[in-house]
Chain A
Amino acid sequence: DIVMTQSPASLAVSLGERATINCRSSRTILLTSTNKNFLAWYQQKPGQPPKLLMYWATTRMSGVPDRFSGSGSGTHFTLTISSLQAADVATYYCQQYFAAPYSFGRGTNVEIK
């Protein structure tokens, strides 16, 4: 099984500052024939289900603000919020969908400093 490790577990950032969340997979989730990384990022606010933010590691879902960006390939990935807004306070999860059983990271709780 592929294990997803996220860091940090929690993060406090001032409004307008950058937030960076890391995610590492225990083996590659890059399909070389298509050059696609099978990684998604989700945002979850209290009392709500997760919301898909990014797929294929770097593609934003429609309607997601462009302050959110994804990067990385292979086994190391990053979600960056370029200028943190109050609406971004949430827990963020990475998920690999390269191989079943699909697996999630343990989450990163983002707060305002």
Chain B
Amino acid sequence: QVHLQESGPGLVRPSETLSLTCTVSGGSISPYYWSWIRQSPGKGLEWIGYMYYSGSTERNPSLQGRVTMAVDTSKNLFSLKLISVTAADTAIYYCARHGDYGDSNDLWGPGTLVTVSS
């Protein structure tokens, strides 16, 4: 059974870089698409972007080019970097898989809370 697990610092200082990793266990990262989605009380669920196991990506323009995503097929994981964070980036961050159902997300990690604060 495939599981996803997000990992990374729970606290990030303003103006610094948020870095998260999603490890895929029990299955292969290929040939799927993978998303990052975040959830905050004020903005609900927000799609950050997705990437293909080959490395191609699509990002939400609302994040103004602050997002970088990467995949490491040898380690079966993918990552998210969000630069120049502010308090507005405080949220639960989820990684999720696109299943065989268009780009809906059939498998999610448990989520990790990232707080941006000095």
What is the CA–CA distance of A61 and B106 in the complex, to the nearest angstrom? 9
* B104–A40 touching, CB < 8 Å: yes
* A49–B44 touching, CB < 8 Å: no
* A95–B102 touching, CB < 8 Å: no
Encode B90-113 as 1/0 by CB contact (under 8 A) with A: 000010100101111110111100
What is the CA–CA distance of A61 and B100 in the complex, to the nearest angstrom? 11
Contacting residues of chain A (82-113) with chain B, CB-CB under 8 angstroms: 93, 95, 97, 100-107
* B60–A97 touching, CB < 8 Å: no
Interface of A is mostly: loop
CB neighbours of A105 from chain B (8 A): 44
What is the CA–CA distance of A101 and B106 in the complex, to the nearest angstrom? 18
* A104–B45 touching, CB < 8 Å: yes
Q: A50-B45, A102-B47, A103-B47 are in contact. Are A55 and B58 (CB under 8 A)?
A: no
How many residues belonging to A are interface residues under a CB distance threshold of 8 Å?
Answer: 25
Interface residue from A51, A100, A102, A104 paired with B44 (Cβ < 8 Å): A104
CB neighbours of A11 from chain B (8 A): none
* B62–A97 touching, CB < 8 Å: no
A76 contacts chain B at the CB level, 8 A cutoff:
no
Contacting residues of chain A (10-42) with chain B, CB-CB under 8 angstroms: 36, 38, 40, 42
Closest to A49 in B: B108
What is the CA–CA distance of A105 and B43 in the complex, to the nearest angstrom? 10
The contact sample of 11 A-B pairs, CB cut-off 8 A, is A36-B102, A50-B45, A50-B108, A52-B106, A55-B101, A55-B102, A55-B106, A102-B103, A104-B45, A105-B44, A107-B45
